[in-house]
């Protein structure tokens, strides 16, 4: 694993530091016996979907955990966001940050709502409230804030703006399960908040999502819409779709709850490990969490300042991938630079300097239960060695690229 000369790097022909790939977002495991017991129970009942007892219990557990009145579990986070958008009555234009996962924008576009991209705050990476009001038009019906990296966005500022302008406010909380804002768990802000329980999240249900809210009327509409508009056994009262969570996903979620604190502790230990190993390296900065709040430490976010580091983020990605460290570029290149938005005349000439800046320099490193402490040490050792020889490595990589090698 030690690198002593440039040719030891796998990108230059050396052996990879790790025999197997280390992934960002590799699924955390549950207690297998407890999960399989629940699976056997649901198979014995032959109640596999349609608001079974495990889904009902899971919704109650989530609502209690987050301190909200209602949780409506769904088949995945994107569908949950789509239904929240429709149930809240959003139409026309809705303002969203451009620096987020593409599903935040697609959930709007898929339903004929135009996402209006707002630039983000360079410090927090969240939607910038100071830029928000200038984007509001007579067609604007709402705002979707994103708690990126699990850190709460400017909740109070967004609530003040949307209240004053009589707009709906939703939060994409896909990264933020278990986290808090001013001592209050994320989930109870705005009109509703949406979680993803995809397998890559630290807390997952194999595949799943949920909308949580304290609005009784909105919760009723959410329940109707996620079950084809059924109200009762054979009465349909509105248009809807099939977005229900199945019993096996709920069984996984209930089992994951039993390992929640242990996984959080592992994530925190890995974060502290990265923090110790990568601090004080010129050109590198590890994203910090507010230690006064609850954090799930799900994302290890590294900022690479190319002029100071002597190497670009993308060059470092190439190097790490060859070493079997599958670091990721989040959220490259920004929603506004992806289709169908990039080619849409509505967005012509859109200039979002902060989003473009962040999309060109942020790198996400592996963490989670599947990663061992010695592997974190190995990842950091590679990064430090590369930084120590950055100009020479960058020059050689550039020559190889220019030469088509």
**Across-strand partners of 104?**
none
- 1 pLDDT above the threshold of 70: no
DSSP, collapsed to helix, strand or coil, labels residue 298 as coil
CATH architecture of 260-402: Alpha-Beta Complex (3.90)
- Note the pLDDT tens digit of each residue in 159-212: 999 999 999 999 999 999 999 999 999 999 999 999 999 999 999 999 999 999
Residues of the chain with CATH 3.90.1150.10: 260-402
- pLDDT tens per residue, range 319-342: 999 999 999 999 999 999 999 999
Q: Render pLDDT for 45-63 as a digit per residue (tens, 0 to 9).
A: 999 999 999 999 999 999 9
Q: How far apart are CA 175 and CA 297, in angstroms?
A: 10
CA dist 320 and 130 (Å) reads 37
Q: Going along 75-147, which residue ranges are E strands? A: 93-97, 114-118, 140-146
Distance CA 132, CA 301 (A): 26
CATH (residue range 32-257): 3.40.640.10
- The answer to whether residue 255 scores a pLDDT higher than 90 is yes
Phi-psi region of 64 (alpha: psi -120 to 50; beta: other; left: phi over 0): alpha
User: What is the maximum alpha-carbon separation in the chain?
Assistant: 72
Ranges for all domains in the chain classified under CATH 3.40.640.10:
32-257
Cβ atoms of 172 and 144 within 8 Å: the answer is yes
Identify the pLDDT of residue 10. Answer: 96
Euclidean distance between CA atoms 221 and 144, whole angstroms = 19
How does the average pLDDT of the chain come out, rounded?
Answer: 96
Average pLDDT for 134-163: 98
């Amino acid at each position: 694993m030690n690198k002593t000369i440039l040719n030891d790097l796998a990108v230059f022909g050396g052996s990879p530091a790790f025999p197997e790939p280390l992934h960002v977002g590799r699924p955390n495991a549950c207690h297998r016996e407890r999960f399989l017991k629940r699976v056997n129970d649901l198979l014995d009942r032959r109640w596999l979907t349609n608001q079974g007892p495990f889904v009902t219990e899971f919704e109650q557990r989530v609502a209690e955990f987050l301190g909200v009145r209602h949780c409506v579990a769904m088949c995945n986070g994107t569908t949950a966001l789509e239904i929240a958008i429709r149930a809240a009555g959003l139409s026309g234009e809705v303002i969203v940050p451009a620096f987020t996962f593409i599903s935040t924008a697609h959930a709007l576009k898929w339903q004929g709502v135009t996402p209006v991209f707002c630039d983000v705050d360079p410090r927090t990476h969240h939607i910038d409230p100071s830029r928000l009001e200038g984007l509001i038009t007579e067609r604007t019906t709402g705002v979707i804030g994103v708690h990126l990296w699990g850190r709460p966005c400017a909740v109070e500022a967004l609530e003040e703006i949307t209240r004053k302008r009589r707009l709906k406010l939703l939060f994409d909380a896909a990264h933020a399960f278990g986290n808090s804002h001013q001592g209050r768990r994320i989930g109870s802000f705005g009109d509703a908040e949406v979680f993803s329980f995809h397998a890559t999240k630290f807390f997952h249900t194999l595949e799943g999502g949920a909308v949580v809210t304290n609005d009784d009327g909105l919760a009723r509409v959410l329940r109707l819409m996620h079950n084809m508009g059924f109200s009762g056994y054979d009465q349909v009262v509105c248009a809807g779709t099939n977005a229900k969570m199945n019993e096996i996903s709920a069984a996984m979620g209930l089992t994951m709850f039993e390992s929640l604190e242990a996984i959080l502790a592992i994530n925190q230990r890995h974060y502290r490990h990265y923090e110790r190993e990568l601090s004080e390296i010129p050109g590198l900065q590890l994203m910090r969490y507010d230690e006064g709040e609850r954090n799930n430490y799900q994302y290890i976010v590294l900022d690479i300042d190319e002029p100071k580091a002597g190497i670009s983020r993308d060059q470092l990605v190439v190097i790490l991938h060859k070493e079997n460290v599958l670091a990721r570029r989040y959220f490259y290149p920004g929603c506004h630079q992806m289709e169908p938005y990039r080619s849409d005349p509505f967005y012509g000439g859109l200039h979002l300097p902060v989003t473009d800046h962040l999309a060109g320099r942020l790198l996400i490193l592996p963490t989670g239960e599947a990663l061992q402490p010695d592997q974190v040490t190995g990842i950091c050792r590679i990064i430090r060695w590369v930084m120590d020889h950055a100009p020479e490595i960058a020059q050689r990589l550039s020559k190889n690229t220019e030469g088509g090698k």
